[in-house]
Amino acid sequence: MKKGILTVLPILFLLVAQSASAQRIDARIDSEDFPSGSYHLGDTQCDANIWIQNTGDVGHQFWISYSVMDRRGQWYTAPPVSVWGDPSDSSTVFANPRWYIPNDYALLGSYQAEFALYGDYNSHTGQLHNLLDQVDKPNAFWVVR
């Protein structure tokens, strides 16, 4: 009986390990197109584009955070955007997050832009979790009058 259990346990362990690895949620930022040039107060930052690739084993809903930082270090974050990604070696998924430049309190000057890719979003708290990838660009664009 003991011998039978000792024979079966390694097989069960391998099956569980294979099953767990088959449910890996992962993705990466394949490419990005940060805003560039000059924008006026009240303009829409609508030319921020990102392409992600699901590098995991299962289809999954991914969340993208788009943030910008002014020259004094103040961060502004657009509402998160979600995209569905099927697992594939070659396909990418596109998203176009938007940040509206506040008319009344945006600082003039240079802004850094950042994309962060997350695997989870808690709708009750509004928090993103499980950071998968991140990319930023200093001096991405300028806000002018």
- Token duo for residue 141: 């664009």
Which structural domain range is residue 135 located in?
25-144
Residue 5 lies in a domain: no
Residue 129 lies in a domain: yes
Check pLDDT > 80 for residue 29.
yes
- Token duo for residue 104: 């009344």
The predicted-structure confidence for 42-83, as pLDDT tens digits, reads as follows 777 767 999 999 999 999 999 999 999 999 999 999 999 999
Residue 16 lies in a domain: no
Instruction: Count Cβ atoms below 10 Å from residue 79 Cβ, excluding itself.
Output: 10
What percent of the chain has pLDDT above 70? 84
Residue 102 lies in a domain: yes
Q: Give the lowest-confidence range in 31-35, 60-64, 88-92, 139-143.
A: 88-92
Angstrom distances, CA of residue 48 to CA of 2, 44, 102: 62, 10, 17
Residue 132 lies in a domain: yes
Q: How many domains does the chain have?
A: 1
Instruction: Give the mean pLDDT of 8-20.
Output: 53
CATH classification of the domain holding 139: 2.60.40.3880
For residue 5, what pLDDT is reported?
Answer: 56
Residue 9 lies in a domain: no
Q: Give the separation between CA 134 and CA 145, rounded to whole angstroms.
A: 30
Residue 13 lies in a domain: no
pTM summary value: 0.81
Residue 100 lies in a domain: yes
